[in-house]
Chain A
Amino acid sequence: MFTVMDGEENAATVELNEPLEEELSGIVEVIGMVSNKGEIMASTYNMLREDKGVPFDLELYNEALKVIHDFPQHYPFQVAASG
């Protein structure tokens, strides 16, 4: 179990199925389901490599997420039936 913070300093707890085998640091992408306690039950995660020298702008990513949620017609999260 670990805690993550988003681009606006909001925190969420992430629970894993198996114990962590590696040390996690930096930006982590977690995919999972939100439980009724507001925790993320992770099915998978991956660390974003930041060894290329350019830091990942998490605040900007947060803003981008808000944008795509404002425009669901241009960023669908479901596959509609193809015509």
Chain B
Amino acid sequence: MWNQGGYTESGMVGGYTQSPGGFASPALSQGGEKKGRTRATQIIPCTVSQLMSASQADEVFRVGDVEVTQVTIVGIIRSTDKSMTNIQYKVDDMTGAPMDVKQWVDTEDPSVDSTVLPPGTYVKVSGNLRSFQNHRSVVAFSVRPLADMNEITSHILEVVQAHMALSKPQTMPGIGGGMGASSTSVVRQGLGITGGSYAGANENQLMVINGLSANQNQVLSLIKGCPDQQGISIQDLKQRLSGISLAVIKQAVEFLSNEGHIFSTIDEDHYKSTDNDD
């Protein structure tokens, strides 16, 4: 499936292995994703119009709720301009005016491909969004011609999926899996049903959709709600969840601990939630 593209921002010379636009949806479906800390290392599929309309706060760009730094866009080259140190393309994905894409060329390094791709070529650009004097552009670390035109279709769907999944992390597991080639009609219905829920995620939806059972969710909520340094004990959980047996509580705790939602503190009977910023 899709890998999470965890790049560190280093240099603009090629040599990166091409990774498909990773959008962290398998991890997000567990509901325990550490919000805010991992976003800077994600690579997000986008459209040119999203990049042009993204808001900018200091060095950080946002498309709606989604923080974007490293992006992929798929479009057709409309023009090229080669100079000694770089190649500038204008890439058009039909959502807006063609986007300026700059690719640095290291003339010393023979492994870097510096042949200019001709206009009319469909390419996938991976790089960083930049803004200079109010002018947006992408500094690319990879500009690769498409081998398979179905990548266009795939990118379109990835853009929608990634932005949807990253906007409301709690409510979008399983949808990533539904985007299969053979199940297009199912996908439409599935999206239609949950399309309403992500606008205002409520607890009931959470219970069914974030991958945890009702019991696990109750246990997790209680653990999250505990302000003590040493966390909440299994005994406390048993007292407060009178409807759930100790064995079930322990099973839930073990599951949540394995998934990374909680961790043990002073001993194996006390737990705190890993996600304490709510």
Using a CB–CB cutoff of 8 Å, the interface residues on chain A facing chain B are 27, 31, 46, 48-50, 52, 54, 56-57, 59-61, 63-68, 70-71, 73-83
Contacts and interface: CB of A to CB of B under 8 A. Distances in A.
3 closest A-B pairs by beta carbon, nearest first, are A83-B55, A80-B53, A63-B184
A82 B52 contact: yes
Given A71-B160, A71-B164, A79-B49, A54 B147 contact: yes
Contact of B47 (A48, A63, A66, A75): A75
A70 B181 contact: no
A75 B150 contact: no
Interface stretch (B30-38, B185-193, B231-239, B268-276): B185-193
A32 B120 CA distance: 16
Main secondary structure of the interface of A (DSSP, over half): loop
Nearest to A61: B153
Contacts of A52: 147-148
Contacts, number: 93
30 contacts: A31-B94, A46-B120, A48-B149, A49-B149, A50-B149, A52-B147, A57-B153, A61-B152, A63-B184, A64-B156, A66-B188, A67-B157, A67-B188, A67-B191, A70-B188, A70-B192, A71-B160, A71-B195, A74-B163, A76-B47, A76-B49, A76-B50, A77-B95, A77-B96, A79-B53, A79-B96, A80-B53, A81-B53, A82-B52, A83-B55
B149 A27 contact: yes
Main secondary structure of the interface of B (DSSP, over half): helix
Interface in B166-195: 167, 181, 184-185, 187-188, 191-192, 195
A70 B150 contact: no
Given A57-B181, A67-B191, A82-B55, A75 B159 contact: yes
B150 A79 contact: no
B164 A75 contact: no
B157 A64 contact: yes
B187 A67 contact: yes
B54 interface: yes
B123 interface: no
B225 interface: no
A76 B163 CA distance: 12
Contacts of A76: 47, 49-50, 53, 95
Most chain B CB within a 10 A radius of its CB, from A67, A74, A75 = A74
Contacts of B49: 76-79
A50 B149 CA distance: 8
B149 A75 contact: no
Given A63-B184, A78-B96, 17 more contacts: A27-B149, A52-B147, A52-B148, A60-B150, A63-B185, A64-B153, A67-B191, A68-B160, A70-B188, A71-B164, A75-B47, A75-B50, A76-B53, A77-B95, A79-B53, A79-B97, A83-B56
Interface string B235-272: 00000000000000000000000000000000000000
A46 B184 CA distance: 26
B53 A75 contact: no
Interface in B15-74: 47, 49-50, 52-56, 64
